[in-house]
Amino acid sequence: MASTDGGRPIRDALVISRQALGEQQTVEARAVTDVLDRLGHEVGTAGEPAALMAALSASTPVSVAETLSVDAHLPPAAATVTSTVVKAIRLIESEPVDVVEADGRIQRHSKVLPGIELGTVILAEGQQNPDKTVPYPAAEQALDALGGGDVDGTVAAYVRLLGEVAEILSDPPPGTAGMPETVPSWIDDADLRQEVAVEAERLRYGAARLGCAPQEVAREAAQFADEA
């Protein structure tokens, strides 16, 4: 017998209870995480990802991380290496399913689909893969921190970004060896080179000013708390 959803007939074979959907998704997710727990979350040779893919269901979605990540607690000036890591992810199927609620109503519900993601992490030499990572590119790291409400982390990432841009715009001293190419190194006009170098100094000044922002915010918050 067919059910209806606002007058729309739905075949019983396509309808599932919320509890059954939850149990089904739990089993599907565990099938992925169990494989990762057994074979590991890091791959270093061609045979390791091959074994991983063979152990997973052929329908398991595979994606590649959009950005390079770094250990969130990487010590300054530490010698680093890169590691190829695999983690379980949750995707949303494009086509929702019809779910029967406890009161008998039928509603469209998104279905979670487990998959895996391949990514690269920068970590200290000799260390295991970290539990917490952040995006390595400064702009992406800033947005990631902002999304988590980390104002200090957001500002620190933008300070780093401004510093990186300033370095690219700086005019290296004549005869400097071993330095990466910068914008002024490709410009013959001395006056134009100087103009670009001035902009680099302005960025450094802006970075220094921005770096003071978290302390100023903290002082203002403390003053507000005292007055309250």
d(CA 201, CA 166): 7
For the cut 80, the answer to whether the pLDDT of residue 69 exceeds it is yes
What pairing do the DSSP bridges indicate for beta strands 42-43 and 80-92? Answer: antiparallel
Residues 6+ apart with CB under 8 A from 111: 21, 25, 92, 93, 95, 96, 97
63 falls in which pLDDT band (50, 70, 90)?
A: very high
Among residues 114, 131, 148, the one where a domain terminates is: 131
| 10-50 pLDDT per residue, tens | 444 467 888 888 888 899 999 999 999 999 899 989 999 99
Question: In 3D, which of 99, 98, 65 has the Cα closest to residue 82?
Answer: 65
Helix or strand or coil: residue 3? strand
> Structural domain of residue 73, as residue ranges?
3-131
Mean pLDDT of the chain: 85
Q: Beta strand 133-135 with 62-64: parallel, antiparallel or unpaired? A: unpaired
Domain count, the chain: 2
The more confident residue out of 176 and 66 is 66
Higher pLDDT, 216 or 143: 143
Predicted local confidence at residue 89, as pLDDT:
94
* Co-location of 89 and 114 in the same domain: yes
Q: Which regions of 65-168 does DSSP assign to beta strands (E)?
A: 69-71, 80-92, 97-100, 106-109, 112-124, 133-135
Distances (CA, A) of 5 to 9, 108, 117, 121, 226: 7, 9, 37, 47, 57
Section 133-153 average pLDDT: 92
Q: Which of 112, 131, 150 is the last residue of a domain?
A: 131
Do both 122 and 142 map to the same domain? Answer: no
206: left (phi over 0), alpha (psi -120 to 50) or beta: alpha
pTM: 0.70
Does the structure show a pLDDT above 60 at 9? no
Q: How many CB atoms lie within 10 A of CB 101?
A: 11
> 108 and 31 in one domain?
yes
Quick one: 165 and 187 in the same domain?
yes
Where do the DSSP E strands lie in the chain?
A: 3-5, 8-10, 15-17, 42-43, 62-64, 69-71, 80-92, 97-100, 106-109, 112-124, 133-135
